[in-house]
């Protein structure tokens, strides 16, 4: 039986190799085939199935075969996408951006040639640029759709492929936003219908956009801020080996700020991300060099982007050191700032973010919305969206400009707030204290379990569903909400806690989002924070037991 399986595996690998347009991919597979049966496990993984096109597009390891990111898979994806656009009656150009990861430019250029080969104009961004610049370009250029080649904050061995729709097919709320169902399923079906890759026509390289699109983004980003406001602020910054550095420097200068001091070792794009174990500002240690620079440069604020600059992380002075803000803390600070500026519209977040934004909106009399996880849902929360955020460091402060998370305009907006507070002798920490005194301490944390076997995630979710806790932190569980079958999300609530459990949509992780709300009593704010932190630790242990992890 094993030999029959290996024969079938070899036949499938040989068939893929024969149709692979990339000489490097063919050589990679040839070596694996020639080394069978020693390489059977590796080949089985690569041919376990195609890399599925979902609502986040494609994302996976750079390797030959259908279950990886490579020129063959990108050719197939691009052909399916342009066929779907044509079937929907979509007219106009496809705009394509790319970051500095391994293969990104090559994948972008292939996408352009597939588009022009199908008779559709292709507009290629002038160079490596942040994801939000591509999202901006979709709207600014009235494109039918956009493709961004990036794996965001994934490890160096990964790459990915995000799709945005313009107004014609995305509608007003989806103009320049990431795709949502049923578009993802339609594109996936079109991809699966692509025949031989050798038969996919390749056209000219498309039109290389000039600096006008970059300059337009920078001007629009600077215009997000209130003109003439305080700008006295010293900022330390890192693009974390990604593509945000040039754009951030230009946007801060255009807005009237001094250009931030940059972590020298992380200033230039580097697809190997050599100074971080994982290029995600949320990961422990990822911001160490930034915080060191902030301390040595006398900075008022420390800001980090992830490698494609759609996320923004902030750290503030705390005692003799620096404290990174949680995504929920920065989200509420930004929302509070925009509300105080009088920005009209709905303020939105997700079911896994802190409940504080909802309480803030209720107290201030502004519309509030809560969505499923992901910016594709946040930006569709209301026709008139003022602001949206998710706890994973994603913020949309200017939905009329970029209908997606944007780490550059978020960085500008928090700098505006910090400069305004500094001019009055206050800080971001002071404003957080004021919000906590008004609404109570909303302490959040996350239990994140990375797995090698994806089946373990399903087993843990089943355990939680079959044996939900009767009590958490000594309080009875008053609500168990299960969003199956539409969404694999489970929520537990008590009088003072909320737990939301879901598999990650982009990584092999099970995530539990924890929140404890503690009133500020007579013993003061710091005592309330101490109680909340202790409660979070206990809650974390209780949920780990529930999940069996």
Q: Tell me the catalytic residues.
A: 152
What is the DSSP secondary structure assignment for residue 361, as one 8-state letter?
H
Q: What are the distances in angstroms from CA 521 to CA 474, 502, 517, 531?
A: 20, 33, 12, 11
Are the C-beta atoms of 306 and 152 separated by less than 8 Å?
yes
**Does residue 200 come out as left (phi exceeding 0), alpha (psi in the -120 to 50 range) or beta?**
beta
What phi and psi values does residue 43 have, to the nearest 5 degrees? -65, -40
Element spanning 491, H or E: strand 490-493
* SS3 annotation, 43-67: HHHHCCCCCCCECCEEEEEECCCCC
Residue 429, φ and ψ in degrees, nearest 5: -60, -40
Both structure tokens of 297: 């440069």
Residue 441 tokens, joined:
């301490």
Alpha-carbon span 340 to 417, nearest angstrom: 11
What one-character-per-residue DSSP string does 126-182 give? Answer: SSS--HHHHHHHHHHTT-SEEEEE--TTS-TTEEEEEEEE-HHHHTTTTTTEE--TT
Measured CA to CA, the distance from residue 404 to residue 348 in angstroms comes to: 13
CA 65-31-53 angle, to 5 degrees, is: 5
DSSP 238-303: E-TTSS-HHHHHHHHHHTTPPPPEE-GGGSS--TT-TT-SSS-TTSTTTTHHHHHHHHHTT-SEEE
C-alpha of 202 from chain center: 31
* Measured distance CA(513)–CA(507) in Å, rounded: 16
CA-CA distances (angstroms) from residue 206 to 161, 163, 362? 19, 18, 50
Q: How far apart are CA 34 and CA 45, in angstroms?
A: 17
Question: How many Å apart are CA 356 and CA 374, to the nearest integer?
Answer: 18
The torsion region of residue 47 among left (phi > 0), alpha (psi -120 to 50) and beta comes to: alpha
Eight-state DSSP code of residue 69? B
């Amino acid at each position: 039986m094993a030999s029959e399986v290996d024969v079938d595996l070899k036949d499938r690998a040989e068939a893929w190799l024969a149709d692979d347009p990339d000489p490097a991919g063919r050589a990679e597979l040839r070596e694996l085939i020639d080394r069978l049966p020693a390489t059977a496990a590796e080949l089985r993984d690569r041919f376990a199935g195609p890399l599925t096109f979902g609502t986040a597009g494609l994302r996976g390891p750079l390797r030959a075969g259908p279950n990886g990111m490579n020129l063959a898979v990108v050719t197939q994806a691009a052909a399916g996408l342009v066929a779907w656009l044509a079937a929907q009656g979509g007219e106009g150009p496809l705009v394509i951006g790319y970051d500095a990861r391994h293969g990104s430019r090559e994948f972008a250029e292939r996408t352009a040639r597939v588009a022009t080969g199908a008779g559709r104009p292709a507009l290629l961004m002038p160079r490596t640029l942040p994801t939000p610049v591509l999202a901006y370009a979709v709207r600014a250029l009235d494109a039918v759709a956009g493709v961004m080649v990036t794996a965001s904050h994934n490890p160096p061995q990964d790459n990915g492929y995000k799709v945005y729709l313009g107004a014609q097919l995305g509608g007003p709320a989806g103009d320049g936003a990431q795709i949502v169902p049923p578009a993802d399923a339609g594109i996936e079906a079109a991809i699966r219908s692509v025949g031989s890759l050798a038969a996919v026509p390749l056209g000219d390289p498309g039109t290389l956009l000039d600096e006008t699109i970059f300059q337009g983004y920078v001007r629009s980003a600077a215009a997000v801020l209130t003109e003439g406001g305080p700008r006295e602020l010293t900022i330390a910054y890192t693009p974390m080996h990604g593509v945000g550095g040039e754009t951030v420097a230009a946007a801060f200068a255009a807005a009237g700020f001094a250009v931030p001091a940059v972590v020298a070792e992380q200033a230039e794009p580097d697809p190997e991300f050599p100074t971080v174990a994982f290029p995600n500002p949320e990961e422990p240690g990822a911001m160490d060099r930034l915080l060191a620079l902030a301390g040595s440069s006398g900075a008022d604020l420390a800001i980090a982007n992830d490698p494609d600059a759609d996320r923004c992380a902030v750290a503030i002075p705390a005692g003799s050191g620096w404290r990174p803000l949680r995504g929920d803390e920065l989200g509420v600070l930004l929302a509070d700032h925009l509300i105080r500026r009088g920005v009209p519209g709905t303020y939105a977040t997700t079911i896994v973010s802190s409940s504080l934004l909802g309480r803030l909106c209720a107290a201030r009399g502004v519309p509030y919305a809560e969505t499923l996880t992901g910016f594709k849902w946040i930006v569709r929360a209301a026709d008139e969206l003022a602001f949206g955020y998710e706890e994973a460091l994603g913020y949309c402060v200017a939905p009329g400009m970029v209908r997606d998370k944007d780490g550059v305009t978020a960085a500008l907006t928090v700098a505006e707030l910090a400069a305004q507070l500094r001019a009055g002798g206050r800080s971001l920490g002071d404003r957080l204290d004021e919000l906590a005194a008004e609404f109570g301490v909303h302490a959040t944390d996350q239990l994140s379990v990375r797995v090698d076997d994806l089946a373990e995630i399903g087993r843990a979710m089943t355990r939680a569903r079959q044996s939900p806790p009767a009590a958490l932190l000594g309080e009875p569980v008053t609500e168990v909400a299960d969003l199956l079958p539409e969404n694999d999300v489970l929520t537990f609530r008590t009088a003072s806690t909320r737990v939301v459990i879901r598999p990650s949509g982009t990584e092999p992780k099970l995530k539990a989002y924890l929140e404890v709300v503690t009133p500020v009593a007579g013993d003061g704010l710091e005592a309330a924070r101490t109680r909340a932190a202790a409660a979070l630790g206990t809650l974390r242990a209780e949920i780990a037991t529930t999940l069996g992890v």
